[in-house]
Structure 1
Amino acid sequence: MKSARKGTALIQEVRSTEVPYGTLAIWFLGQESVIIKGDGITVYIDPYVSDFLDRNGPVRSYPAPIIPEDITGADLCLITHEHDDHMDEGTLTVFHAQNKEAPIIAPACCRQELLRMGVEGTSILTADAREARELFSKLRLTVIPAAHEELEQDENGYERSVGYVLELNGVTLYHAGDTVIYPGLAERLAEIAPDVALLPINGRDYFRREKGIIGNMNYREAAELAVRIGAETVIPLHYDVFAGNSEKPGYFVDYLYEHYPEQKCHVMARGERFVYVSARAFV
């Protein structure tokens, strides 16, 4: 009997995974693409699983664990900013066609491009850092401004780049999107004290910026930020898809081990399901 294709099997795993209160399931798809599941809600963040950039720019270092056609059963999609490896046309056109009921939340500057991709206007919600949003009566979503590499707002006060805090199933998760650390970020996140922080580690430098590659915090900054904000567990992102904009996650782990050996971290394998378990799971 022929076994299921790897991507199909991963989505079947997502569908069948049920996590008890106080836990969240996380799947890593590469770059900053993740799937989050808790309390029956399945959320995709920055799904980039097509070969779209292969035809228009850098080539992926490895194939994505799934293809866009695999994605079914999604309840929500969150986009952090408009760059192609975060708001991927090759993925989102198929995502929307196969998950019509799933809203797509994105910065206001992304709306026209999403409409061009064929996403219906009623499915597009604007990421607004000025107020939290309740979804499905189970998820509280807070938008955090991101500086990629600078904070930018439009004339209506909407951020160009964002991160998201998800409060779901008794767990608080922060996905930073693409950002450097800016004044006030650590203090705000420390008040939230996320259980899980997903942070980019690829950094930035003059020569990448010269090529038009806008950067993020580096692995040292990400490690220090995780400790400063009181994240119980930190997961590094944005280090593996493009050879010209990569970082070794081992440097991140080594830095934490040398300086903050009690800080929990987890480097996710491609396509891995990681189940985060908080203390609230045992209350």
Structure 2
Amino acid sequence: MELEHSKRGLEILKELKSTEVPKGMLAVWFLGQNSVLIKGEGNKIVCIDPYLDPAPYRAFAPPFQAEMLTNIDYVCISHDHSDHLDPYAVEAIAKVNNQTKFIAPAYCHDRLQECGVSPENIVSADTNLDWCCTDVKIKAIPAAHEEFEYSPDYGHRFVGFIFDWNGVKVYHAGDTVIYPDLVDTLKREAIDLALLPINGRDFFRNQREIIGNMDVREAAELAVAAGVDTLIPLHYDMFQGNSEKPGRIIDYLYENYPMQKCHICARFERFIYVSPNAL
């Protein structure tokens, strides 16, 4: 299996360079857990929550070593937990490309600098800003990792990201439950592609200090209520005791909302999203 992963990892690295993304489309690579790569207009590449540490407690090995990601323009970090802000991945990416910008909540900035990210390459994921970045239009919105954590000095500890890129609106939720105003926010943004966690949460995991997210049913209902075109579930495959079977969201949608589009990514798959407005 490790050899298979390594072979596919090299294919991904080639695809990142060679994939052409026409207007109205985005290319998405699923790396496991909450980690995705997205490529769009101008051959820009964004990596969200890269978790590439080859730790023994992972369910499967990463597809490649983090230092092989030499062409990343932006790394978006949703919060400071180690499967989202992975020190190994951050240090490696920062080391091989001193032009990469890291967009993250202020809670993460000290850790990023400890990992070798220079202060001028850190962009605040400030939920009060219309856009954190305008080259690739990226904005941060609050996330409630079961609860909000907010301070006047640091802002929100947990965030999700909305991208307005290449004629496609993408929402990467980070780690969150559904909270008041989230549906209305996503409706206003007219989200095309939503990447949502589905591992859920419960009392017994909380007792083990495992903070949770929306579950299968909530993610499905959020996508429908917000008018999302296509849903991709995340955050279900990496850790024993904090996982979910992604087929359950297909079952739920088929039984209740058979017109709602949903795509389960194969491990390390390249998925080309095509907007309804694509030419």
TM-score, normalised via structure 2 length: 0.95
- Structure 1: distance between partners of 2:81 and 2:259: 35
Contact 2:143–2:160 (CA under 8 A) maintained in structure 1: yes
| 1:18 equivalent in alignment to 2:20 | yes
Q: What are the superposed Cα offsets for residues 176-226 of structure 1, whole Å, 9 maximum, x if unpaired?
A: 000001111111111112000000000000000000000000000000000
Q: Percent identity?
A: 50
- Structure 2: distance between partners of 1:134 and 1:207: 37
| 1:105 equivalent in alignment to 2:107 | no
Q: CA deviation at 1:278?
A: 1.0
Matched with 1:27 is: 29
Q: Counterpart amino acid of 1:38?
A: G
Q: What are the superposed Cα offsets for residues 145-188 of structure 1, whole Å, 9 maximum, x if unpaired?
A: 00001111122361100000001000000000000011111111
Matched with 1:122 is: 120
Note the aligned Cα RMSD (angstroms): 1.5
| 1:48 equivalent in alignment to 2:46 | no
Contact 1:132–1:140 (CA under 8 A) maintained in structure 2: no
* Structure 2 CA distance for partners of 1:67 and 1:166, relative to 1, 3 Å: same
Contact 2:59–2:240 (CA under 8 A) maintained in structure 1: yes
Q: What are the superposed Cα offsets for residues 100-155 of structure 1, whole Å, 9 maximum, x if unpaired?
A: 10100101000111111121111111101111226464x21121100001111122
- Structure 2: distance between partners of 1:133 and 1:213: 31
Alignment of 1:1-283 (within 5 A): 5-39=7-41, 40-51=43-54, 53-54=55-56, 59-133=57-131, 135=133, 137=135, 139-156=136-153, 158-282=155-279
Structure 1 stretches lacking a partner, 5+ long? none
How many pairs are equivalent? 274
Contact 1:149–1:216 (CA under 8 A) maintained in structure 2: yes
Q: What are the superposed Cα offsets for residues 31-71 of structure 1, whole Å, 9 maximum, x if unpaired?
A: 000000001110000000122x43xxxx0111112221221
Contact 2:107–2:154 (CA under 8 A) maintained in structure 1: no
Q: Counterpart amino acid of 1:91?
A: A
Specify the SS of the correspondent of 2:51: coil
- Structure 1: distance between partners of 2:264 and 2:8: 21
Contact 1:202–1:217 (CA under 8 A) maintained in structure 2: yes
- Structure 2: distance between partners of 1:134 and 1:280: 25
* Structure 2 CA distance for partners of 1:121 and 1:134, relative to 1, 3 Å: closer
